[in-house]
A and B are shown apart, each in its own frame.
Chain A
Amino acid sequence: MASLADPILRRRKSRKGQGADFIQKIAMVLAVLLVGAAIFAPLLTPFDPLQQSLLARLRPPLGFERYAAGHIAGTDELGRDVLSRSLYGLRLTLALAFAGAVIGLVIGGLLGLVAGLRRGWAEDVIMSLVDMQIAIPFTLVALLVLALMGSSLTVLIFVLGIAGWEQYARIVRGEVRRIAAQPYLEAARTAGAGPFYTAWRHVLPNLVSPLVVQFTLALSNIVILESTLSFLGLGVQPPQPSLGSMVGLGRDYMPTAPWIVLTPAALIVALTFTVQILGDWLRDRADVRLRER
């Protein structure tokens, strides 16, 4: 009964039985399609994403007037195939977003763990860093770093990684402090457990749920940050396509050639949707408290 007293658990539990699985199945299929498309982009795409064709500029997708044979999703202002560029862009965006989110998770998670467990001056320093990062608009920092270091993919991944670390750190520190006050940690100590065993066996498993949720949020945020940076010319460098830069550059042609934006935008929506749903699913799977009596 105690677990049912928690309204969030109750909601999640009741939701479990009610056809939420259907949406999760859609998300799983989408995930397979998206990852497959990203990995096998070179095999799937009919055209070279960088190949320009001045004769077939701004052609609409299949089914419209002036459709250019083969360019199913149309062509952009330089006559490049939108579908091919989108799949290559998906590939790059997916890689960037995952690398960035993982870097943030590792940095933020570790610092949060240290802050939560050690307290004292370590906590003060780490939490001041967190406050600083929150106080300064990160886009400014990213612009500065990219302008100074030059815009290479390595620097970009690094910048995207540190973009979200402070959220992980805050969550982990809060959870660790909450868990540290639980009697079962004292019970572990009286059983003879040392600090490392306790952290690994008792604290970490309780961090999985909030971290999964934060990871899915961070992934979506990074996709948006990457598109912002690319739009400003400091992200992925043209002519290389990323989903964000395609949306950014295609914006100018929205009134006359909306298809340039629509395909990559649809992929971004599908990607973030999939990640969110799968994140919820993973969180519920990891939570043994949702199992029936």
Chain B
Amino acid sequence: MLPDPPVLSVKDLRVAFGSVEAVHGLSFDIHRGETLALVGESGSGKSATALSILRLIEREGGRITGGSIRLGGEAPAEITELAPAALRAIRGDRIAMVFQEPMTSLNPVMTIGAQLGETIALHRGLRGRAARAAACAALERVRIPEPDQRLGQYPHELSGGLRQRVMIAMALICEPDVLIADEPTTALDVTTQAEILALIAGLQRDLGMAVLFITHDLGVVSEIADRVVVLKDGDLVEEGRKADLFAAPKSDYARELLAATPRLGDGSPAPLAGAETVLEVRDVVTTYGGGGFFSRRAPVTAVRGVSLTLGRGETLGLVGESGCGKSSLARTVMRLVDPASGEIDLLGTRIDSLDAAALKPHRARIQMVFQDPYAALNPRMAIRDLVTEPAYLHDMVAPAGRDAMARDLLERVGLPADAAERFPHQFSGGQRQRICIARALSVRPQIIVADEAVSALDVSNARRVTDLMARIQREEGVSFLFISHDIAVVERVSHRIAVMYKGEIVEQGETSQVLHAPRHAYTRRLLAAVPRADIAPTAGPQVPGGNNALEGRRVPVVTPL
């Protein structure tokens, strides 16, 4: 459909780590001005492919075992055969990359200006005043306010969104033919994500580069891609135009992936009528710091007078951006931090002022599942001990009975019973989150607080975990406080929703009501930023405040050449 030759052509690419092959003969082309999305779950080989194109895979311990990667354009090159010096000349100049973590991809001890200047000096030979002007222009291009001032700042002085803009500015500074974006928005809030997606799309129109966009999120794909390549376990399972994929997926896997992707407006559980209250939070305020004798910092208030109730067998979804205080609220409810004021009523007992000894029996009634299943399990303990630890601490199981109990719990969350013998590192993220749930279930709690419990998981794993939670709720009447920044997931699981913003709950009510008729401006903004995983023929990436805000400011691009 595009007559010109591809700017990047990958043929029968094979990548191996040690003796394990991660990519088995992958082929695709990208043309000028086109966005190709490489979609797959973790372990599908999508990052290995991206790193292979820059030949960075060798640093990660992998190697290209076969196939070709051909860079087209005015000076064609076969990347798999290039010498290191020629490779360095291409990296950053003709092919640039934006990484997932904007925090760790920038050097913390170098100013933004110095880091941008490095790339310009390497590829364009510009130094001093000229380099500074070019860096300034690059920041302007990614619409960073006050670019001149930013040049002297260090990465930690910028927000996550601004840092990702700097990364993009750095990648685009030499106007590459191909931009590889490896999950560039995964670490960001929905509203920031929408801004970055709009920025990349706009820049692509201006510069006419090809974009290889790597993501696991079909919502993001629907926002940005022209064509899609779906990967599974290192094999290409489907390739086609975005509209075709969303309208009529050809492969089973793509269908599965689409089904697992939460879509806003897919419906939510009907609200429960007259459920008995199991948890009531009244006017809770949580502050950090400021307590020490020598501490001169003013205390930071994370939760400002929050009240909510949770009924038996109900799921209350708590939505908000990172830093809005939703995790602090969860930690306060769990009594991991003490509230500065307010009351927490758990099954008829005020637990906000109990001391550690008096609190212990109540801990069995409310359990927590953490965001990061990698960090929430002690790496040196066997699964048997981890899963039964809460029950053991509450004397609900004799030491001799722990093995049987662990097997039973693991079976209930859909893991093989012999998993009890193994250790956390031997499981995948989704399996570990199941282990965390099994651990919570060991004390038969009435309430489970799930703090971003599926945020670190792939869509299909997330789907399985939320389905598991729903089953547990059906079978045992457990109530969930489900905390997430992903409003679509929250919709799928929650009877009611509370929206949190800057430490306060700005809106609360039945899920369908809040999502269909949002009353608060912040809720509306949050909803507008959610990527829709479907074919939206006219709507490009939505930016809070409207697309025009960005479209109107087309920055004149001054190329330092």
Contact = CB atoms under 8 A, between A and B. Distances in A.
Interface stretch (A88-96, A187-195, A261-269): A187-195
A188 B375 contact: no
Contacts of A205: 378, 380-381
The interface size bin for chain B is 20 to 34
A123 B294 CA distance: 15
B425 interface: yes
B390 A202 contact: no
Nearest to A208: B380
A184 B375 contact: yes
- List of 4 A-B pairs having minimum Cβ-Cβ separation, nearest first: A191-B390, A192-B393, A192-B363, A183-B375
Contacts of A15: none
A283 to B, nearest CB: 12
Contact of A293 (B356, B367, B393, B425): B425
A120 B394 CA distance: 31
A85 B363 CA distance: 64
Given A184-B377, A184-B378, A202-B378, 17 more contacts: A2-B425, A183-B371, A183-B376, A187-B370, A187-B376, A187-B377, A191-B390, A191-B393, A197-B393, A202-B381, A205-B378, A205-B381, A289-B380, A289-B423, A291-B423, A291-B425, A293-B426
B336 interface: yes
Contacts of A197: 393
A186 B426 contact: no
Contact of B336 (A2, A184, A190, A192): A190
A1 B48 CA distance: 13
Contacts of A10: 61
A206 interface: yes
Contacts, number: 79
B385 to A, nearest CB: 8
Interface in B356-375: 356, 360, 363-364, 367-368, 370-372, 374-375
B439 A182 contact: no
Interface in A84-130: none
A260 to B, nearest CB: 48
A2 B425 CA distance: 8
B321 interface: no
A94 B360 CA distance: 48
A3 interface: yes
Interface string B57-99: 0000100000000000000000000000000000000000000
A124 to B, nearest CB: 11
B388 to A, nearest CB: 10
A149 interface: no
Contacts of B393: 191-193, 197
A184 B364 CA distance: 17
Interface residues of A, number: 28
Contacts of B378: 182, 184, 188, 202, 205-206
B491 interface: no
Contacts of A183: 370-372, 375-376
A288 B379 contact: yes
B423 A288 contact: yes
B401 interface: no
A91 B77 CA distance: 68
Nearest to A286: B380
B389 A188 contact: yes
B43 interface: yes
Interface of A: 1-4, 10, 182-184, 186-194, 197, 201-202, 205-206, 287-289, 291-293
Query: Helix, strand, loop or mixed for chain B's interface?
Result: loop
Interface in B335-351: 336
A87 B363 CA distance: 60
Contacts of A201: 381
A186 B370 contact: yes
Contacts of A194: 356, 360
8 contacts: A1-B42, A2-B374, A184-B375, A190-B368, A205-B380, A288-B425, A291-B423, A291-B426
A184 B424 CA distance: 12
Contacts of B377: 184, 187
Contacts of B336: 186, 189-190
A191 B423 contact: no
A141 B184 CA distance: 57
A293 B364 CA distance: 32
B367 A206 contact: no
A17 B153 CA distance: 47
B364 A192 contact: yes
Contacts of A289: 379-380, 423, 425
B380 A191 contact: no
Q: Which of B367, B380, B394 has the most CB of A within 10 A?
A: B380
Contacts of A206: 378-380
Contacts of B390: 191-192
Contacts of B372: 183
B334 interface: yes
A206 B375 CA distance: 13
Given A186-B370, A187-B370, A191-B439, A1 B375 contact: no
Contact of B375 (A182, A202, A291, A293): A182
A117 to B, nearest CB: 15
A18 to B, nearest CB: 12
B363 A288 contact: no
Contact of B43 (A1, A192, A288): A1
Contacts of B426: 291-293
A192 B377 CA distance: 15
Interface string B405-437: 000000000000000000101100000000010
Nearest to A191: B390
Nearest to B356: A194
A184 B374 CA distance: 9
B131 to A, nearest CB: 33
B447 to A, nearest CB: 11
